[in-house]
Structure 1
Amino acid sequence: MKHVANTLFIGVLVSTGLLAQTTTTRNAAADWPMYNRDLAGTRYSPLTQINPTNVARLTQAWSYRLRPEGKVLAAPSPNEIFQEVTPIVVNGVMYLLSGDRVVALEPETGKEIWTYELKEGLASFRGVSYWRGDRSNPPRIFFTTARKMMALNAVTGEPSTGFGTNGEIELKIPYIGAPAIYKNLILMGSNFFGPGQRHINPALETSVGESGDTHAYDARSGKLLWEFHTIPREGEAGNETWGFDSW
């Protein structure tokens, strides 16, 4: 897989003679609020401004440096950042991860609205998730750091203190993907442990759940609501079909 390091050449392109999507026309159709755009995974945009008659005239609108000039990151890649994600756009704001930072940008210009820098470690390179909030809580941005899931106020970039402890919760099993959001639920899986990979606390590896288990958290409080064991345990439906060393 080829990684694009250090600079994000944004897919927001403009063409001579075309009007860019303006702030006055922001609506749900212009949003890309999650990976694949929707829970059905359609990757379909209903916008028609760019079409077969003008696509050849597109030019680069702007670029954004993922690693600020002179910034040194934590090992193993102190001088390189790569992303394997599509930035999300909600209500005219673009959100993405950049090494040890979470960034909100103006889609039209690439100008920073806010940035949040992690106190330690790196954020996942698989992107962020957006929760629209409710009457008691403003919209939030969720992301993982392998060991934790964190929540930021989508407007200010500050940690959402009502979520977990000061805006973060510990994950029993590491996860580097962008969580799926459904209503007030945060849905996420668990990373597969390949050769040389272990649980962050090997002593708990068999007691906290196998790789692949699915979890649901409350987007408001961070409370774990339920856990589905992909490999059924003793007493659970289907356990009798899983013999020794089953795959």
Structure 2
Amino acid sequence: MALRRDAIAIVVIVAHGLLVQAAVASARAWPQWGGDAGGTRFSPLAQITPANVDKLVRAWDYHTGDSTVRPPAAALRTKFEATPLLIDDSLVFCSPFNEVIALDPGTGVEKWRFDPKLANDLRPANRYACRGVAHWVDAQAPADAVCRSRLFMGTVDARLIALDARTGRPCAGFGVGGEVRIDLGTDLLWPSEFQITSAPAVGRNMVVVGSSIADNQRVAAPPGTVRGFDARTGALRWSFDPLIHDGITAGHANVWAPMSVDDERGLVFLPTSSPSPDFFGGARPGDNRHSDSVVALRIETGALVWSFQTTHHDVWDYDLPAQPTLARLETGQGARDVVMQPTKQGFVFVLDRDTGAPIWPVEERAVPQGAVDGERLSPTQPFPTHLPPLLAQRFT
């Protein structure tokens, strides 16, 4: 993909003049935002190698046209961050204005396009943005049924939309006319203080949606509630507020980064963010759990299974910014199913998938104190000891 200032474009390259083959078997597809539900981002394709990568040339490009059909003020509030899916012989992605587009992967020819009709004057807190869509197949539906293969997308204006993956038409049996308007249960400072930017997580016939919320607007900000919807009907099945509000005034701890799913275990893994406001916690004493945490929920009920906090009482905006990666690792004491979570500090926490316990030691180390009046910092912070940090921890 390439982002150009004059137009958003997707660019496809070829090796030695031969188009890199689109998926024929599911193993060669890219059906989820992170490659698979566990975010491993692994592809078995082997046509592009270190020996031929310098021979790649452009095969085609595609322009969404957003910059020419939207008012300049709206176009300036965009960021193109979509990861395309390769499903059902289509390359599917979303534009910053939540238009879902399906292309022929071999030619770049547009197959269909869905426009949810976003308003141009929303002023979204984190710009007009859509990181991707999610794919789900209804195993109970006939093979040729409409919306048996469907796409889910959260929108800038707080809708969850279901589309037929073959045609791009809304799934009539989902919500009202193919969409659910999310009830936030609280007043907003302006309509787009709350938005959805990352692709939903899908598993066990459930669709799980996080949110992106404006930072540093107020202490009693909207909560970062995560919601689970029935994938067939759009009915809300559960909601989970990551932040424990006992004795504190705060909101957020939302999940703006992509989530991961272990369908076999029936777990969804949430990378939560900091509580409000980002840089002062005087009204929220204590560790503020389950903010800045990897949280495992039962995907069918939203019940809490375990939580591991990577930053206590965050006053640095140390949101967990990445999808948790699910993998099976050889630890030296046998293979373990793990959750790997990188952080803004450059740490990587490796946790047992069933319990959340660190696979290798994590030390609570004393950290510098001293803060503005009314603030009380955590005396310690967790440091993984086995894996070295991904970047320097001191600057001169």
Q: Decide: shared fold, TM above 0.5.
A: yes
Question: Which is worse superposed, 217-226 or 121-130?
Answer: 121-130
Indicate the residue corresponding to 1:231 in structure 2: 243
Deviation by residue 1:34-76 (Cα, 9 ceiling, x = unmatched): 2211122211101111112221111111111121684235x74
1:169 and 2:208 aligned? no
Q: Which residue, out of 145, 153, 177, partners 1:143?
A: 153
Aligned letter for 1:85? A
Cα separation, partners in 2 of 1:167 and 1:17, compared to 1, 3 Å = closer
Aligned equivalents of 2:78, 2:215: Cα separation in 1: 23
Q: How many residues align?
A: 227
Percent identical across equivalent pairs? 32
Query: Which SS does the other structure have where 2:212 is aligned?
Result: coil
Deviation by residue 1:52-111 (Cα, 9 ceiling, x = unmatched): 2221111111111121684235x7424785411211111321111123521110111110
Indicate the residue corresponding to 1:245 in structure 2: 284
Partners of 2:163 and 2:170 within 8 A in 1? yes
Aligned equivalents of 1:91, 1:179: Cα separation in 2: 19
Structure 1 segment 104-143 matched on structure 2, within 5 A: 104-121=102-119, 124-136=129-141, 137-143=147-153
Once the 2 structures are TM-superposed, how far is the Cα of residue 128 of structure 1 from its aligned partner?
A: 1.2
* 4+ aligned runs moved over 6 Å, structure 1: none
Aligned equivalents of 2:102, 2:223: Cα separation in 1: 32
Indicate the residue corresponding to 1:87 in structure 2: 84
Cα separation, partners in 2 of 1:135 and 1:31, compared to 1, 3 Å = same
Query: Which SS does the other structure have where 1:230 is aligned?
Result: coil
Cα separation, partners in 2 of 1:165 and 1:72, compared to 1, 3 Å = same
Indicate the residue corresponding to 2:46 in structure 1: 48
TM, length-normalised to structure 1? 0.79
Aligned equivalents of 2:198, 2:46: Cα separation in 1: 30
Aligned equivalents of 1:231, 1:245: Cα separation in 2: 11
Query: Which SS does the other structure have where 1:226 is aligned?
Result: strand
Q: Which runs of 5+ in 1 are unaligned?
A: 199-204, 235-242
Indicate the residue corresponding to 1:192 in structure 2: 213
Once the 2 structures are TM-superposed, how far is the Cα of residue 196 of structure 1 from its aligned partner?
A: 4.2
Indicate the residue corresponding to 1:218 in structure 2: 230
Q: Which residue, out of 150, 168, 178, partners 1:157?
A: 168
Cα RMSD (Å): 3.0
Partners of 2:19 and 2:59 within 8 A in 1? no
1:14 and 2:19 aligned? no
TM, length-normalised to structure 2? 0.51
Deviation by residue 1:115-155 (Cα, 9 ceiling, x = unmatched): 11223337742221111223334111111223211111111
Aligned equivalents of 2:129, 2:162: Cα separation in 1: 13
Indicate the residue corresponding to 2:354 in structure 1: none
Aligned equivalents of 1:93, 1:221: Cα separation in 2: 25
Q: Which has the larger radius of gyration?
A: 2
Question: Which is worse superposed, 144-153 or 123-132?
Answer: 123-132
Q: Which residue, out of 193, 197, 200, partners 1:179?
A: 200
Question: Which is worse superposed, 84-93 or 123-132?
Answer: 123-132
Aligned equivalents of 1:190, 1:81: Cα separation in 2: 17
Once the 2 structures are TM-superposed, how far is the Cα of residue 162 of structure 1 from its aligned partner?
A: 0.4
